[in-house]
Amino acid sequence: MTYVIKRAGKRQAEEFAPHKVHSSVRSACLSVRSPEGEAETIAARVGDVVSQWIHTKPSVTSHDIRRVAATALEAFHPEAAYLYQNHELVV
């Protein structure tokens, strides 16, 4: 079981939830007008990359997860990766 340390340690650590990565990557893809099926496929692939990376770690930060997911997403959809990396800057 891997625990995620939330941003700035302000909230209690929680167990890693792969569906959160899937959902956020899917949303980034849909935001750049990717077709639904493509968004689902990319989100599943990125989720697999993150799950494999996280498998041996007892704890990670939410920033680590976002960094690894963004790197994986870059290979599949650079435009969505840009949006994913800069989600706080986009209004």
The predicted structure's pLDDT at residue 91: 52
Q: What is the pLDDT of residues 37-48, one digit of tens each?
A: 999 999 999 999
Helix-, strand-, coil-residue percentages of the chain, each rounded to 5 = 65, 10, 25
Q: How far is CA 72 from the centre of its chain?
A: 9
Q: What are the sequence ranges of the domains in the chain? A: 3-85
Q: What is the pLDDT of residue 90?
A: 57
- Helical pair 36-54 and 18-31, crossing angle rounded to 10 deg: 140
The whole-angstrom separation of Cα 51 and Cα 45 is 10
* pTM, 2 dp: 0.89
